[in-house]
A and B are shown apart, each in its own frame.
Chain A
Amino acid sequence: MLALSGVSRSFREGGRAHRVLDGLDLAVATAEAVAITGRSGSGKSTLLNLLSGIERPDSGRIELDGRDIGALGEPARTQFRRAHVGFVYQFFNLVPTLDVEENVRLPLELNGVRGAEARRRSAAMLQRVGLGDRLGSAVDALSGGEQQRVAIARALVHEPSFVLADEPTGNLDEATATETIALLSTLVRSRGATLVMVTHDLALAATADRILELRDGRLRPRS
């Protein structure tokens, strides 16, 4: 369960405040998948950063499973994110000095799962995204689609309740994009997690339960 009410966020820009989110409301049910579209600069990434507790709203409430994220202090928000949120980015954001399996193991270790148990779980997760034979590969040896599958495995390995994806296919060709989105939504759904996905691609957005558009700082259903 995810609920935003009256969320505003503005940034200073050359001395003037620029209101990116302006009294935004949103309710997403548990295990629901929502797609968000919007023009570049409309505040989509900002919204995801608020949801994950990376940033705080200027005003308004952001509740995830009943917890007011905006009201938590910095370490508590980080700990919440670590335990309950998985993130997938446009530019994969894998750690270049770690191999495939280590990248996936990272969130487990941050959550205190170590050693053989962690290794077993990350290997199993990579099996699920079809990279069971690439555990020891360097991440920059993978294709874009493969890298994004590692990122998906990393976002899901610690069984988060919320998965946030910021233009996850923006850097992939069309065929790979379709496969990747299919994989992402299947995995998220099979775990009963809630998915909030930002995308430009309406065809991909259609795989979600609901499509919303971010415009003028608010969300409205896509017509």
Chain B
Amino acid sequence: MSTLSAASARHLLRHPAQLVLALVGLALGVATITAVDVATASASRAFELSVAAVSGPATHEIAGGPQGIDERLYARLVAAYPSLELAPVVEGYVTVRDEALQLVGLDPLAEANFLEPPSMGERATAAAPGSALADPAVGLARWLTEPGAVVLTESTADRLALPLNGRFVLQIDGRPHEAVLIGRDSGSEAGRETLLATDIAQAQEWLGLVGRLSRIEIRAPPGAAAEGEIARLAAQLPPGVELEPAQQRSQTSLEMTRAFTTDLKAMSLLALLVGLFLIYGAVSFAVLQRRKTFAVLRALGATRLDVLRIVLAEAAALGVVGALLGLAAGVGVGRGLIALVSRTLNDLYFVVAVSTVTLPKSAALEAVGAGLLTALVGALLPAWEASHVAPQLGLKRSALEARAVRLSRSLLIGSVALAIAAGAIVAASSRSLLAAFAALFLLLLSVAACTPGLLAGSARLLARSLHRASPLGRIALGSVAASLSRTGVAVAALALAVAAMIGVSVMVESFRESLDDWLGRTMSADLYVSAPGPGFDRPERRLDPRVVAALLAVRGVASANAGRAVTVSSPRGPVSLDAVTLAPRGYDAVQLTEREAQAWAAFERGAVLVAEPLAWRWRLHPGDRLTLVTASGPRSFEVAGIYRDYGGDGVLIDRGVYRRSWGDDAVSSLGLYLDPGVASGKIIPALYAAAAGRQALLIGSNAGVRALSMSIFDRTFAITRVLDWLAAGVAAIGLVGSLLAWQLERSRELGILRSLGLTPRGAAVLIEAQTAFMGLVALVAALPAGLAAAKLLVTVVNRRAFGWQIDFHLHGMQLVDALRLALLAALLAGLYPAWRTGRAPIAADIREE
């Protein structure tokens, strides 16, 4: 190892607290990214496996809208295209003993089945020797004739404690159906754990799809001839029915989870951003502590580039170690997160059971790369500063301090320039997230740049005004100003940490309150009723019309919003369509961003309203047109308005229009408004009673649903807060280090004061007063920039990342937090020097540094 790297390594190891904090901070940032990647990738992988298990060899599929496809189409196509293998599928989600499963209805007599019907027929027996049914022939008969006959994988059946020939109840929509397990499939093919196979007719009956198919799968043999056939088939399909490549469906489903995964991703990026400041703090203190060493190196003939390289190499080493630690931790945390993520995916999108943890190689590389890059970017400024350390070792301290004062003045100008540059970047770019982050970074740097000048100026000013009143105070302030080369950098780093903390916490709080406001407004109904089951916009989740009628007839229910949530396709990708009939009060619940009156008029005439995130992503504005595939083919809808939505990125349409265009009259959920004075707690039992015997319901009160949403939010951002405090910790520890060096230099001055009769306690108070003053200056410098950073995060970064508009919310409490942080860090930093000074012999030897 070269002496230079040895010196670096030893320095870092001699300051373990600082090192550990920096590593922990960075590792946490990387771990968050990795954990999110692991959880989402594992869930996606599991989902893809389950898709492959059902329709692995299929090359294409024919799909309809929420209402599926007429099954007669299948018969027609089989006759017309003998060269293609076709398989009909009916599919939906069911719940068995609280576990979500995917019901797949298969036709064992169909000429092709891509999911081997468990041990049906000759081919299946050959393919799956661990046959689920003792005798295939008997099995086939039972499959076709026994009501409720289903087959599950052995492992799932065991988990659910379902014996062979056992009878059990499965729930669809909260409606119970009797089933019997006629086979336990012992084949261990991945992706089959969540599959519940049954006969196609049985599935149609259960899912309310009599006469309809969810899709038709096709296997085309390779070759141009088959391609021609496929093209011919596509052209002959009735309107509203489309032919797609087979991978499309899983892609589409995964695409739908985008809003959810982006949230997770955003949180992890935020964690990394805080990690950036941790590294910045740690490296700049590591530089500060070694100014002298860098000066020696420069005097010995190390070039600026050499010094720059040393510091960046240290940062890179920190980055790699931190990233690897983070990667390891992230995989661990990710395992834990999988349960949570798949739970959410089950609730909102599709059924998955994750059995293997996947960390895509690209994600691992990305995490390590992000850690490394973060470390390097964080170290850039300190490295530059190290490379510009003055090598004038023979000069007196006072000459160096004079230089520092001059530098601090030009930095003030630099600070203004940085702030202006930040503003210019934001103004010049309109959608680039990278530009927004760059502006944020410059803005925070500008705080760091203005701090030394501010410190020197205010110390001098205050010292002058204290002239008569307190000579001791004057000395204290005077030496803060006189040692700017040390105090300036320490305070700058503290200011930066405080500014970052203000920015992030104001942003999180603004987001939180905007969400709360939004929930308060959007959730105007008193009670929410839906059919239980996995998948937010699965077509089989409908409320029984008789149940709907019964609920609306309950005494105390004044009016209701009715909604039907489905996924429809559009040329630009899948769209979550929410078809609504709104009660008069329901209109207020939709928070339009502009032109409310016209928008509603247009909406009633058949136009759609688009959620803000989708509008941002697809660049939709009121007056634009959006094409959706209806039951009678693609149709262009006018975009009447944009509405706020922090939850998803859907499209609202009038239920009457939806019914006419898609031929679906079902209702997925209701929002009930109660008569004035009726307590929701009182009426819930009556609602359950009204549905009893027909359908189990999910009924949530307004307050309950809102509280749940907020608790999810708070959990999501908990890690950001932890990191925030870590950043403060690094700043405090660095501050201790640099103050210590400074106090050592001042031991002569303090020695004189002590010999003149200053008690140890007095000396301690003096030092604490100095550090408290520095903490306050850091705060003053950090306040405006922290608020500007918050504004930037709230209005620019969030908008560009998600398309959300968040209102800026500022509370005195957050500023008090920042004050507390700055003072706490500063006072803690003073504690050790104060203690030391109190104990040091009065005639301390005076040696420079």
Contact = CB atoms under 8 A, between A and B. Distances in A.
A49 B300 contact: no
Given A54-B299, A85-B301, A93 B10 contact: no
B292 interface: yes
Contacts of B847: 91, 171
A102 B3 contact: yes
Contacts of B293: 95-97
A49 B7 contact: no
Contacts of A110: 297, 300-302, 306
A103 B849 CA distance: 18
A106 B3 contact: yes
A114 B2 contact: yes
Given A106-B3, A110-B306, A78 B298 contact: yes
B299 A87 contact: yes
Given A95-B7, A97-B10, A107-B300, A55 B393 contact: no
Nearest to A198: B394
Interface of A: 11-13, 44-46, 48-49, 52, 54-55, 74-75, 78-79, 81-83, 85, 87, 89-91, 93-98, 102-103, 105-107, 109-111, 114, 154, 166-167, 171, 198
Contacts of B295: 93
Contacts of B126: none
Contact of B300 (A74, A87, A166, A171): A87
Given A105-B3, A109-B4, 19 more contacts: A45-B395, A49-B395, A52-B299, A78-B301, A78-B302, A81-B301, A82-B302, A85-B301, A89-B393, A89-B394, A91-B848, A93-B292, A95-B7, A96-B293, A97-B6, A98-B6, A102-B3, A106-B297, A109-B3
Contacts of B303: 75, 78-79, 82
B252 interface: no
B402 A54 contact: no
B398 to A, nearest CB: 10
Contacts of A13: 402
Interface string B374-392: 0000000000000000011
B801 interface: no
Interface residues of B, number: 34
Contacts of B300: 81-82, 87, 106-107, 110, 154
Contacts of B306: 110
B392 to A, nearest CB: 5
5 contacts: A12-B406, A45-B392, A97-B14, A105-B3, A110-B297
B296 interface: yes
B301 A54 contact: no
Given A13-B402, A107-B300, A98 B7 contact: yes
A155 to B, nearest CB: 9
Nearest to B299: A87
Contacts of A52: 299
Contact of B393 (A81, A93, A107): A93
Contact of B394 (A75, A83, A107, A166): A166
Contacts of A94: 296
Interface string B289-333: 000110111111111111000000000000000000000000000
Interface string B333-352: 00000000000000000000
Nearest to A41: B396
A137 to B, nearest CB: 14
B836 interface: no
Nearest to B8: A97
B512 interface: no
A95 B2 CA distance: 14
B820 interface: no
Nearest to B395: A45
Given A93-B292, A93-B393, A109 B7 contact: no
A102 B296 CA distance: 14
**Pairs A-B, 6 closest by C-beta atoms:** A82-B301, A45-B394, A166-B394, A97-B10, A102-B3, A97-B7
B11 interface: yes
Given A91-B848, A91-B849, A97-B11, A79 B6 contact: no
Contacts of A85: 301
Contacts of A46: 395
A95 B296 contact: yes
Contact of A79 (B292, B301, B393): B301
Most buried by A among B3, B6, B10, B293: B3
Q: Interface majority SS on B: helix, strand, loop or mixed?
A: helix
Contact of A111 (B11, B301, B393, B406): B301
Contacts of B394: 44-45, 48-49, 89-90, 166-167, 198
Nearest to B301: A82
Contacts of B298: 54, 78
B172 to A, nearest CB: 70
Most buried by A among B300, B391, B392, B847: B300
Contacts of B2: 109, 114
B845 to A, nearest CB: 11
A97 B10 CA distance: 6
Contacts of B392: 45, 49, 54-55
Contacts of B304: 74-75, 78
A13 B406 CA distance: 10
A14 to B, nearest CB: 9
B138 to A, nearest CB: 81
Nearest to A107: B300
A154 B10 CA distance: 20
Nearest to B303: A78
Interface in B279-297: 292-293, 295-297
Contacts of A171: 847
A46 B395 CA distance: 7
A98 B391 contact: no
A110 B402 CA distance: 30
Contacts of A79: 301, 303
Nearest to B405: A14
Nearest to A115: B2
A140 B192 CA distance: 69
Contacts of A105: 3
Contacts of A103: 3
A55 to B, nearest CB: 7
Contacts of B10: 97-98
Contacts of A81: 299-301
A11 B402 CA distance: 10
B752 to A, nearest CB: 20
Given A96-B293, A97-B293, A83 B7 contact: no
Contacts of B296: 93-95
Contacts of B292: 93
Interface in B760-778: none
A83 B3 contact: no
Contacts of B395: 45-46, 49
A13 B297 CA distance: 28
B470 to A, nearest CB: 25
A94 B293 CA distance: 8
B307 to A, nearest CB: 10
A178 to B, nearest CB: 22
Nearest to A84: B301
Contacts of A90: 394
Contacts of A82: 300-303
A71 B777 CA distance: 42
B619 to A, nearest CB: 49
A106 B525 CA distance: 75
Nearest to A105: B3
B402 A83 contact: no
A91 B296 CA distance: 11
Nearest to A45: B394
A177 B847 CA distance: 17
Nearest to A171: B847
Nearest to A12: B406
Interface string B1-42: 011101100110010000000000000000000000000000
A94 B292 CA distance: 9
